[in-house]
Amino acid sequence: MRVAEVQISPWDKPKYYEIGDLTLEKGERVLVKVDQGSDIGCVVGFADIEVSNIKKTGVMTAGVEETKINDNEPETIETSENSGNESQMDIKPILRKITHHDLDKVPSSEEKKQALEFCVSVKEKYDLPMKIIDVHFTSDGSRITFAFIADGRVDFRELVKELTRHFGRTIRLQQIGIRDEAKVMGDYGHCGKQLCCKRFLKNFKSITSEMAELQQCSHRGSERISGVCGRLMCCLAYEEDGYEELLKKLPAVGTKVNVDGKRGVVVGHHVLKQSVDVEFVGDNEERGTIVEVDINRNNK
């Protein structure tokens, strides 16, 4: 089944939507069916999925907790940071391409600013340990979602009650990760270019210290290999496969080797240079001497 990947809010992962008879191109904005009404999203890609992975009920997000404030107030949803893919998905339809009439309903930047400022003021009133990042209004005006970051779970029930009374709509608070904040806010990295997560990264890959060690840059210190979000830079994953292939060509640390008739042990690697550090253990005068040896020198 051919589906479109549509991103609604900048902090959310793109979700799959049924294309139907529409002819779409990447970058087009469309009106999609959501859990409670409709919303505007941007087509960021296309995919083919197995029909067996589609389910008829449920939602396509992970870690969702639904809470009723009381019988007279709208439903409020708190969603934890996105994690993993589901084995089954609820594929909702793309209703149509948007029109100028749809765009007229989109709140202005000033309206969003005022909504954020009010939410922040109420958050400070209740002294909640959270940081409000962004706000999103559904195109049909039925729901407002505030994105926030926090170290753990936050009891924001009083905040939701006051926001509901003020706006008169369904209020949704969504907890996002610190890397999602960088994606929303944007900035420039050590390379001088705009952050990858702001420009093109749709999904975040887990970045580990082993990647930095493989690329022999961990010695630079965490500050130099961390992005503006404080996490290890996503670009450490770009060349991981290449480094792994180059590393396979080098003898493992601890391997005993002969260099010009002298016996030594490999004690270090220079992956990009394709050379190794060899400590000689032969004659007494050479014991402990470390020499860098090019493994391809005999082929030059």
Instruction: For residue 49, give the DSSP letter.
Output: -
Residues 237 and 262 in one domain: no
The model's pLDDT over 126-157, given as tens digits with 9 standing for 90+, comes to 999 999 999 999 988 889 999 999 988 889 99
Q: Is the pTM of this model over 0.75?
A: no
Instruction: Show the domain range for 197.
Output: 179-245
Q: Where among 125, 158, 175 does a domain terminate?
A: 175
Tell me which residue of 216, 229, 247 sits closest to 149, measured CA to CA. 229
Model pLDDT for residues 179-217, shown as the tens digit of each residue = 888 888 888 888 889 998 888 887 788 899 999 999 988
Judgement on whether residues 222 and 241 belong to the same structural domain of the protein:
yes
Q: Do residue 120 and residue 46 come from a single domain?
A: yes
Q: 283 and 159: one domain?
A: no
Same domain (yes/no): 189, 265: no
Q: Is residue 266 part of a domain?
A: yes
| Rounded distance between C-alpha atoms, residue 108 and residue 92, angstroms | 27
Which helix or strand (DSSP H or E) is residue 98 part of? none
Name the phi and psi angles at 199, rounded to 5: -85, -50
Query: Do residues 42 and 140 share a domain?
Result: yes
C-alpha dihedral over 79, 85, 88, 94, to 10 degrees? Answer: 70
Query: How far is Cα 223 from Cα 210, in angstroms, rounded to an integer?
Result: 16
Question: From the CB of residue 200, how many other CB atoms can be counted at a distance below 10 Å?
Answer: 9
Domain-embedded: residue 54: yes
> Does 168 share its domain with 45?
yes
* pLDDT tens profile 239-280: 999 999 999 999 999 999 888 888 889 999 999 999 999 988
Q: What tokens were used for 70?
A: 């009381």
Q: How many CA atoms lie within 13 A of 189 on its CB side?
A: 22
